[in-house]
């Protein structure tokens, strides 16, 4: 949600922080700010509403002398995105500064407590209370140190938070704490970093330490000391980051999203790689016995947004291969309707970030009800996989564009892998059948590469042509239905255009009333061979909308001549098996949304009001 970076070392902190924030801007861009301890007992704080460049414009040209500091890029929750609500926030003396990601749920009570003591708060945020509370705790016993003050305060906080504190009287250290929000430590030579994401410090070090739940870390230039909220030494997990900064750069494209669209063949191949061992599909982590898995008699898939669309596709694969009922539900609804869960229920949680609050809470609810949880995630060690019984990581690499592209297709292929893993455990597929399906999945990377070669340019031209449209509808059937939903979501999210996805069979039950002269309608056709009956029905649907004046854009299998007369614009994708069709059909819809947004003059990577990971419910 928000991005946080902290630094203690020998470099000018301001530059390190600003560069780190550039890499974290995908987490929020409502405002940005930095605080640097200047070494003479002062704390230099600069903040500005809007994107990071607004902050850069108000920073002193000369880096202030301090080598300790922290920065923040905000996605607003409490209080509008103004200068006064931008982080870092300070206490009344101006000596303590804090940056915060998450929500302090009991902030109203804490604020009232501070106000009763005469403290005047300078912002509308929940975060500011933490600065005042730490200043008060430190002031009461300075010899106990900043870490003790932070521990005492975070133990009182409710909600999800990552907090980083600095104190002007302690110029050589920063102290951070986390609960249910991400925080990693970067270990350099004579310098240490702390951040929401390794991308913030990958320029300087690839050695990192993952912090656990309810931990506090004190950083000095020489190292990190990690404890729990009570001061007990805590266990952490060191890891080495295996991607470099080039992976997080735009690779010659105007926008990260365009690069990420092109990376899909690689991310599909990387996600599959190494998961068939001695004829068996293996997950990355499995803390469940085969017997526990065999006892599963029902599957729920929970996820949000694009990940939910991947989950809809999981249903087709798992039910088909395992003959077990699968329900797919948006995570934000799941736990509030009291779903029927027990030990024999498997909940598959899909989240690229692994920190989406709605999905995390659904996981927690499922576990409280004794259900087994399997996570599909793109972020190693994130909270959702940590709280799950089994994990399959997608290897899509860092995705900076807010719109999910390569993580979506990687999630789809990962869902299919889960389907195969379950089929082999349940015995609904023999080893040779599993191997055949796996090989089929492996062919998806080539198929997607061929789509990219063939459709990007014509789809961009089409998008520029249709960019002035008021609305676009997307229709699909069977596995084409989630593709239609995803195509519409991409267009809404990036081009701020009214877009809806429908199951084409539903058209005549209402949505057909929306069809008017020149309305663009994108139709995702099933294969005329694999799904002949559905193909026929969809042709009839296209006729119905064409008769009412719609402009038809049809995504169809290469060589499907029957559809040509009904397509004002035909986008041909390679013939693949039914389950792989969503992978090839989604690519042109991603390109379409990105290009419409670009033609309308919008920032493709940073759509308004959105953040890459949504850590509030």
The residue with tokens 């736990």 is 335
Of 28, 305, 482, 582, the one binding ligand M6R by CB under 6 A: 305
**For residues 262 and 572, which CB has a smaller minimum distance to ligand M6R in the complex?**
262
Angle at 343 between CA 285 and CA 378, to 5 degrees: 30
Nearer to ligand M6R, 218 or 590 (CB): 590
Three-state DSSP class for 381? coil
CA distance 565 to 263: 33
Closest approach of ligand M6R to the CB of residue 94, in Å = 37
Phi and psi (nearest 5°) for 204?
A: -110, -35
Query: Does position 306 bind ligand M6R by CB under 6 A?
Result: yes
In degrees and rounded to multiples of 5, residue 102 shows phi and psi of 120, -160
CA-based nearest residue to 104, from 133, 74, 127, 75:
127
Nearest Cα to 132, choosing from 175, 96, 88? 96
Catalytic status, residue 415: no
Beta bridge partners of 350: 376
Determine which residue in the list 30, 260, 387, 493 makes contact with ligand M6R, applying CB under 6 A: 493
Question: Which of the 8 DSSP states describes residue 109?
Answer: H
497 binding ligand M6R? (CB under 6 A): no
The residue whose Cβ lies closest to ligand M6R is 305
CA dist list (Å): 508 to 151, 473, 512, 515 = 60, 14, 6, 11
Residues 351-390, mask of contacts with ligand M6R (x by CB under 6 A): xxx--x--x-------------------------------
- Quote the least distance from Cβ 608 to ligand M6R, whole Å: 12
Among 52, 96, 99, 304, binds ligand M6R (CB under 6 A): 304
Is residue 612 part of the annotated active site? The answer reads yes
425 binds ligand M6R (CB under 6 A): no
Candidates 136-144, 305-313, 454-462, 589-597 — which segment interacts with ligand M6R by CB under 6 A?
305-313
Residue labelled with tokens 């995105």: 81
Of 2, 304, 322, 377, which one is the catalytic site residue?
2
Is 180 a binding residue for ligand M6R by CB under 6 A? The answer is no
List 119, 402, 413, 462, residue binding ligand M6R (CB under 6 A):
402
CB of 403 or CB of 418, closer to ligand M6R: 403
Task: Provide the minimum distance between the beta carbon of 293 and ligand M6R in the complex, in angstroms, as a whole number.
Answer: 24
Element spanning 35, H or E: strand 31-37
What is the C-alpha separation between 110 and 545, in angstroms, rounded?
58
Please, what is the minimum distance in Å from the beta carbon of residue 610 to ligand M6R?
A: 6
Beta-strand ranges (E) seen in 138-173 are 159-167
CB contact at 8 A, 418 and 374: yes
The 8-class DSSP code of residue 435 comes to H
By C-alpha distance, which of 483, 469, 504, 502 is closest to 585?
A: 483
The residue behind tokens 């614009």 is: 569
553 strand-pairing partners? 522, 569
Could you say whether residue 404 binds ligand M6R (CB under 6 A)?
Answer: yes
Stretches 101-109, 144-152, 176-184, 349-357: which one binds ligand M6R (CB under 6 A)?
A: 349-357
- State how far the alpha carbon of 152 is from the alpha carbons of 107, 138, 216, 230, 614, in Å: 16, 10, 11, 8, 28
Burial group, residue 395, by CB count within 10 angstroms (0-12, 13-18, 19+): buried
Q: Among 278-286, 347-355, 417-425, 568-576, which window interacts with ligand M6R (CB under 6 A)?
A: 347-355
Nearest 10 degrees: Cα torsion 120, 123, 124, 125: -110
Nearby residues of 547 by Cβ (< 8 Å), 6 or more positions away: none
Total interface residues for ligand M6R by CB under 6 A: 16
- Residue among 272, 592, 614, 615 that touches ligand M6R (CB under 6 A): 614
**From the CB of 27, what's the least distance to ligand M6R, in Å?**
11
Footprint of ligand M6R on 11-50 (CB under 6 A): none
Footprint of ligand M6R on residues 510-569 (CB under 6 A)? none
Q: Tell me which stretch binds ligand M6R (CB under 6 A): 67-75, 161-169, 289-297, 345-353.
A: 345-353
Here's the x/- map for ligand M6R, 571-610, by CB under 6 A: it reads as ----------------------------------------
List 95, 490, 606, 612, catalytic entry: 612
Q: Does 307 bind ligand M6R (CB under 6 A)?
A: yes
Site for ligand M6R contains 455 (CB under 6 A)? no
The rounded distance, in Å, linking the Cα atoms of 487 and 582 is 11
Which residues are part of the catalytic machinery?
A: 2, 612
- Binding site residues, ligand M6R, CB under 6 A: 304-307, 351-353, 356, 359, 402-404, 489, 493, 613-614
């Amino acid at each position: 949600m928000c991005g946080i970076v902290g630094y203690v070392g020998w470099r000018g902190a301001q530059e390190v922080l600003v560069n780190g924030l550039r890499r974290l801007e995908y987490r929020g861009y409502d405002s940005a700010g930095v605080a640097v301890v200047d070494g003479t007992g002062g704390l230099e704080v600069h903040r500005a509403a809007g994107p990071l460049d607004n902050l850069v414009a108000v920073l002193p040209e000369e880096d202030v002398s301090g080598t300790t500091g922290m920065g923040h890029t905000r996605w607003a929750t409490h209080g509008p995105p103004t200068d006064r609500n931008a982080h870092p926030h300070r206490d009344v003396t101006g000596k303590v500064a804090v940056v915060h990601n998450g929500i302090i749920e009991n902030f109203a009570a804490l604020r009232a407590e501070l106000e009763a003591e005469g403290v005047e708060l300078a912002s509308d945020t929940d975060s500011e209370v933490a600065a005042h509370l730490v200043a008060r705790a430190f002031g009461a016993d300075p010899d106990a140190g900043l870490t003790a003050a932070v521990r005492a305060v975070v133990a009182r906080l409710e909600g999800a938070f990552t907090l980083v504190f600095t104190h002007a009287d302690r110029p050589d250290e920063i102290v951070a704490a986390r609960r249910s929000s991400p925080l990693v430590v970067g270990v350099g030579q004579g310098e240490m970093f702390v951040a929401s994401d390794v991308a913030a410090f990958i320029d300087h070090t690839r050695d990192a330490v993952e912090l656990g739940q309810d931990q506090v870390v004190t950083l000095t230039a020489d190292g990190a000391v990690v404890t729990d909220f009570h001061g007990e030494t805590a266990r952490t997990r060191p890891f080495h980051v295996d991607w470099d900064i080039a992976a997080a750069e735009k690779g010659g494209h105007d926008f990260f999203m365009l690069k990420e669209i092109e990376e899909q063949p690689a991310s599909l191949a990387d996600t599959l790689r190494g998961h068939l061992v001695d004829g068996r599909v293996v997950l990355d982590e499995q803390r469940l016995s085969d017997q526990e898995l065999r006892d599963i008699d029902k599957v729920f898939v929970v996820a949000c947004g694009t990940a939910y669309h991947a989950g809809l596709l999981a249903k087709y694969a798992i039910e088909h291969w395992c003959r077990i009922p699968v329900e797919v539900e948006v995570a934000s609804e799941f736990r509030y309707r009291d779903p029927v869960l027990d030990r024999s229920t498997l909940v598959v949680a899909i989240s690229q970030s692994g920190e989406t609050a709605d999905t995390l809470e659904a996981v927690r609810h499922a576990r409280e009800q004794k259900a087994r949880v399997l996570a599909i995630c793109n972020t190693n060690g994130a909270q959702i996989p940590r709280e799950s019984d089994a994990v399959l990581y997608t290897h899509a690499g860092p995705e900076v564009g807010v719109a999910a592209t390569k993580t979506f297709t990687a999630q789809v292929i990962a869902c299919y892998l889960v389907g195969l893993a379950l089929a082999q455990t349940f015995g609904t597929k023999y080893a040779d059948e599993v191997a055949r399906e796996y090989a089929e999945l492996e062919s998806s990377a080539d198929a997607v590469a061929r789509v990219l070669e063939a459709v990007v340019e014509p789809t961009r031209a089409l998008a520029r042509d249709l960019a002035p449209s008021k609305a676009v509808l997307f229709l699909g059937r069977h596995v084409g239905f989630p593709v239609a939903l995803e195509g519409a979501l991409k267009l809404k999210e990036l081009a701020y255009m009214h877009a809806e996805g429908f199951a084409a069979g539903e058209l005549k039950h209402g949505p057909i009333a929306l069809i008017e002269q020149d309305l663009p309608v994108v139709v995702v056709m099933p294969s005329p061979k694999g799904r002949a009956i559905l193909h026929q029905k969809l042709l009839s649907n296209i006729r119905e909308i064409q008769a009412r004046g719609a402009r038809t854009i049809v995504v169809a299998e290469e060589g499907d001549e029957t559809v040509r007369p009904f397509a004002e614009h035909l986008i041909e994708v390679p013939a693949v098996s039914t389950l792989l069709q969503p992978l090839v059909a989604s690519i042109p819809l991603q390109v379409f949304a990105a290009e419409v947004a670009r033609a309308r003059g919008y920032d493709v990577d940073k759509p308004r009001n959105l953040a890459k990971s949504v850590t509030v419910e």
